[in-house]
Structures are given as C-alpha cells and as structure tokens.
Structure 1
Amino acid sequence: MLRIKQKEHGVVDLLSAFGILRLVTPECLLDFKRRYPEIDFYHRECPDKQVERWFLSGEGNVAFSLAPCDEKLYDVSELASFPVKLLVNKKHRLSKKSSVLIQDLEGEPLYIESREFKIHDMIVDKCREAGFEPNIMFETSGFSLCHKMVRENKGISVTVDFVSDDMGHEDMVLIPFSDGIYEWKICMLTRKNEVIGNGVDIFQRHVKEWLDKIQIGSITR
C-alpha cells in the first residue's frame, strides 16, 4: 500500500548520508514541506554505506549519497563535488605546505570517519597503493570529532571545505592533495526502472533549484 501511495499520491521518503544536509541545508527540506504540504515527507540520516544498503533493500524512494554509486542499479544525479583535503593544526609540521602527497600521511596519527563512510575507503586505499598502512588512531561517526582532535593537535584528518567552514578552523589548515583526484561527490539517487512518482519528481527539481540559488548567492547556506 505504501508503494502505491508513493507512486500515486506523493510521498518522499529520503535517505541521506551524514554531512550532505550541511550542503543542501535543512531549510531546503523545510521549504519543500511548506510549499508542498500535500506531499508526505520523511527523512533519515545515516552513514553512506548504510544509505545504500537500505536503498538497495527497498527502503526509501530517493537518496543522497556519495560517489561512486552503482549506475546499473540507480539513476544518479550529481549535485556537487568538493576536493577532499588534509586537515592539520597550524602547529603541525605539515601546516606550511601548499600541497601534500598521500605519503605525507605515513606514520601520522590519523582520525577518520569509520568504514561505513566512503571517504574512509578512499584514503585507506590510496595509502595502500602508496605502500603503507595508515596509522588510524580512531574511526569516528562524523567530521565533528575529527575536527576536535585536530584542533587539539592530537593528529591529522581529512575533510572538505564547506564542512570545515561550518565548524570553524581558525587553529587549523586545509591542504590540498597534489598526487591525484581526491573527490567528495554528492549524488541524488533513484532506482532504475522504478516509477518514482510525482512527489519525488517535484522534490528532485526543488533540490536542484535550491542548490542553484545557493550557487548564485540568492540563498545563503
């Protein structure tokens, strides 16, 4: 019955990976609910990989996740992309560098999101390709604790600009990697060959229009 309602009467059941609503903004969702009160709206947040496990099992009818996403299973719309950068305290020996290599992480105490996050796989895989295991001190459930530990100069981490800007980083430095592509790409997913329904179609347009307005400055994130 829920699937019939989703397709015919307007239900948006959003699954979102942690961190993405910082970009899309809660106000985007609130504005959607205000403008379309006839559409039932639900949302849940969880780590990237959990989003895709739930979505694959049939939960939700639209998802925000991080690339890479299986384009054989999903219709994928890229919403935004940000370079992943190294985050260090200003007192750290790497803080004066204009760019870093993955080898610069070798031996350094690293605070990073858990294995449920794709950014974890990206960094660990690149370290292994360079011939070493990262010195992971702690795996967290989000960016906040990573920033705290770097602020206290207890180690290093990786993050993206807009997250770091939100949290404040006056005691820290963001340094780009210069030895390859380190990308945090946000995508919106629906299932291939599934009729998404009017509610999801309207929601997708709303999100894209909202992000366009942020981009041109008519909405402040």
Structure 2
Amino acid sequence: MDIRHLEYFIEVARQKSFSKAADKIRVSQSTVSKTIKDLETELGKALFNRNSKYVRLTDTGKILFTEAQQVVEMFQHMSTELESISKIEKGKINIGMPPITGATTFAKLLGEFKKTYPNIEITLFEYGSKTVQLGIQDGSLDVGLICCPTNQELYEAIYFTKDPLWVVVHPDHPLTRYPKVDFASLAGESFVLYHRDFSLYDEIVMRCKMAGFQPKVIFETSQRELMIQIVEAKLGIVLLPSKICQELDPQRVTSIPMADPQIFLELSLIWKKGRYLSYATLLWIKYVRNYLLNKTK
C-alpha cells in the first residue's frame, strides 16, 4: 500500500463513482479500478458495494475513509513543509467560487497572481456558496469565494466586497416608473432565482416572507445570461448585484435599486480555520491581502 492507493480510494468515496473519480484525478477509470482492487486484495476486505446505479462504502470502507483522510493530509503536510523550507514557488491551489458573482476583479487578480507565480497551478470550481463551504470542510478545496457572511468559528476570511442586489425587469414593466422598489411591491411576480446551493437563494426567499409573501419561483439557475433572457422574454424578474446590473444592455432589460432593507452580495475569500495550508495557498492568500491593502491606499 502506498499513498496513491489511499488518494484514489478517498476520491472514489467522495465522488461515489469510479468514472468521476478518474476524471477528477485525471487518470483512466481502469487505473482507478485496479488500484482499488489491489487495495482490497491487500486488506482482505471489500471497501465498496458496487452495482450499476451506485458505489457506496462498506462498513470497512467507512472506517478506512476516516483514517485515510488523516494519513493523506499528514503526508501532504509533510510534503508541503519540505516545499516551504526550500521556498520553491510551485504547487497547486483548488479554488471554489460561485459563477453568478461576475467577479471580474477576482478573475483579473487570479491572472496577475499567475503571472507572478507561473509554476503554481490553479484549478477553479464553480459551486454555490454552500457547496464551496462543504468542499473546504472536506479538503477538496483549499480556499473559496462565498457570497454570504462567514462563520468565524469555522473559517478564516478576507473580506472582498459588498454589493447590493437590484431587481432586473423588462423595460415595459410597471416597476420601471419608480426610482427604487421594496420587496412588498414584488409580491405576485415570477422570480428567477439562484440554485438552492447559493446562500442568496435563502436570503431572497426569507426577505420576501418578511414582506408578507411566498415568492413564486419559476426557475433556478446559476447562468446569468439565461436569467437575462427570461426577463427579456417577460417571463419573470431576477435580482442581481448592482455591478452586474450596470453592465447590462438597457435596451434589453431595466435595473432598479432596492429600497432598504437591502440584500447584499458579500464576497469573502475563506479557508478552514486551523487547517495546514500549502505553500502555494499561503502565497495566494498573502497576494490577495496585499492587493486589497494597496487598493485602500
């Protein structure tokens, strides 16, 4: 048994699929299957229950999964420690971020970081804030950008930006007569909302209930252009960050600020509190801190 056996085992357990694990690790499915079979042969125990519909851990597999994560993390920490000592500016960072944010500044920042540290590999994953936090907790993500206030007991965080949500409607909509609208005036409208793994979904639904109505949700998506197309077709309304709204074509849709109390898209860069971070991840966090510090000067 070597560390590769455990890494492949952990990924199959996380993905609940040999093919998805192979895609994530970037090896063939046959390689993953053979590695798991070798591990089971060595242990003399089955680690997964397999059929055509699912792959699930056996009782033995569940025990090994817990222990294997600790072993792999210790191995990664040891490798990172040696890397840090030699000050080799290379490595890999897994970053989760919600696609709806339109985080242009964040994307540019990633580009500048890559120019400064060309040997550091960055992999981006599009998830809602809830999924990003789960990924950081289970170790599949190193850091993440989330659209909600951070849990200070679980995460370290760097505050990135705060942007109010505006309502986006068709140019012929009656609400365009007003300079601002409140949530009560949205009762009876058809809402296009973010997927449920986005924290903003819960925030918008809660604010509607506070205004005295249950929102009629006709569609959930994380694709901004699809949201705009639905509004343009007069099928519903959507709430988007003001910075995104200011970039929209006024011939297609109209954006209107929300009256207080507003909902804000609060972007924070987070990572797990107390977790050992790779040298590459530490460089990224330091780079973001320096950028924001210089931005405020």
TM-score range for the pair, normalised by the shorter chain length: 0.7 to 0.9
Provide the residue aligned with 1:72 in structure 2. 153
Matched ranges for 1:108-127 at <5 A: 108-127=189-208
- Report if the CA contact (8 A) 1:113-1:143 is conserved: no
The 4+ residue runs of structure 1 with deviation greater than 6 A are 212-216
Deviation string for 1:171-213 (max 9, x for gaps)? 3222222131311000000111123243222212323455677
Provide the residue aligned with 1:179 in structure 2. 260
The change in CA–CA distance for 1:52 and 1:7 in structure 2 (over 3 A counts) is: farther
The change in CA–CA distance for 1:34 and 1:8 in structure 2 (over 3 A counts) is: farther
From 27, 30, 37, the equivalent of 2:111 is 30
What's the CA shift for 1:87? 0.9
Provide the residue aligned with 1:201 in structure 2. 282
CA RMSD of aligned residues (A): 2.4
What's the CA shift for 1:164? 2.8
Structure 1 or 2: more strand by fraction? 1
Query: Aligned to 1:133, what secondary structure does the other structure show?
Result: coil
- Report if the CA contact (8 A) 2:95-2:143 is conserved: yes
- Report if the CA contact (8 A) 1:15-1:62 is conserved: yes
Partners of 1:89 and 1:120 in 2: CA distance? 21
Partners of 1:173 and 1:21 in 2: CA distance? 18
Query: Aligned to 2:176, what secondary structure does the other structure show?
Result: coil
Q: Give me the TM-score of the superposition, normalised by structure 1.
A: 0.86
The change in CA–CA distance for 1:8 and 1:208 in structure 2 (over 3 A counts) is: same
Matched ranges for 1:33-182 at <5 A: 33-182=114-263
Partners of 1:37 and 1:4 in 2: CA distance? 23
Identity within the alignment, %: 22
What's the CA shift for 1:215? 8.0
Structure with larger RCO (C-alpha < 8 A, sep 6+): 1
What's the CA shift for 1:8? 5.0
Matched, 1:192 2:273: yes
Partners of 1:7 and 1:92 in 2: CA distance? 59
Deviation string for 1:49-87 (max 9, x for gaps)? 111111122222111111122111001111011001111
What's the CA shift for 1:42? 2.4
| Greater shift in the superposed pair: 144-153 or 88-97 | 144-153
Partners of 1:142 and 1:71 in 2: CA distance? 30
Provide the residue aligned with 1:219 in structure 2. none
| Greater shift in the superposed pair: 32-41 or 82-91 | 32-41
Larger Rg: 1 or 2?
Answer: 2
What's the CA shift for 1:143? 2.4
Structure 1 or 2: more helix by fraction? 2
The change in CA–CA distance for 1:26 and 1:84 in structure 2 (over 3 A counts) is: same
What's the CA shift for 1:121? 0.9
Query: Aligned to 2:188, what secondary structure does the other structure show?
Result: coil
Partners of 2:77 and 2:249 in 1: CA distance? 42
Query: Aligned to 1:150, what secondary structure does the other structure show?
Result: helix
Give the partner amino acid of 2:147.
Answer: L
Partners of 1:82 and 1:18 in 2: CA distance? 15
Deviation string for 1:96-135 (max 9, x for gaps)? 1111111111111111112111111111001112221111
Partners of 1:3 and 1:20 in 2: CA distance? 32
Give the partner amino acid of 1:136.
Answer: V
What's the CA shift for 1:165? 3.8
| Greater shift in the superposed pair: 83-92 or 62-71 | 62-71
